[in-house]
């Protein structure tokens, strides 16, 4: 669940809290309906993620390895290794936190 672009775990927590609020407010039928939706959402096979983040990251690593193999031996530009890390971190983060070029290569584009 950690690699969901939209966190299933966080969605379930938010819906459970909302259901509790509705129950406390006397809206029992609505609270029960929300909890049924939560039970459905908790089963990963019912709501698959858009893509496997780790599969995408593996693909990026393979691409960068191919690029590195084309570089002269012992002369792999440091920037290539840093960009690989940055791209993988962006994918793993799912765009949740802002990204800046300052995080790679001291801000040089």
For range 77-95, the mean pLDDT: 76
Query: What average pLDDT does this structure show over 54-75?
Result: 78
pLDDT of residue 52: 72
Q: What is the pLDDT of residue 96?
A: 63
Query: What is the rounded distance in angstroms from the CA atom of residue 56 to the CA atom of residue 69?
Result: 20
Tell me how far apart the alpha carbons of residues 82 and 67 are, in angstroms, rounded to a whole number.
13
pLDDT tens digits, one per residue of 20-37: 999 999 999 999 999 999
- How far apart, in whole angstroms, are the C-alpha atoms of residue 4 and residue 52? 8
pLDDT at 106 over 70: no
Task: Tell whether pTM > 0.85.
Answer: no
63 compared with 49, residue with greater pLDDT: 63
């Amino acid at each position: 669940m950690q690699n969901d672009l939209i966190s299933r775990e966080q969605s379930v927590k938010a819906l459970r809290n909302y259901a509790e609020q509705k129950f406390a407010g006397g809206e029992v039928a609505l609270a029960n309906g929300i909890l049924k939706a939560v039970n459905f959402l908790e089963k990963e096979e019912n709501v698959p993620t858009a893509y496997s983040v780790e599969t995408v990251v593996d693909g990026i690593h393979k691409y960068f390895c191919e690029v590195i193999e084309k570089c002269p031996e012992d002369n792999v530009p440091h920037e290539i290794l840093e960009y690989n890390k940055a791209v993988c971190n962006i994918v793993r983060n799912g765009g949740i936190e802002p990204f800046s070029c300052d995080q790679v290569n001291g801000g040089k584009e």
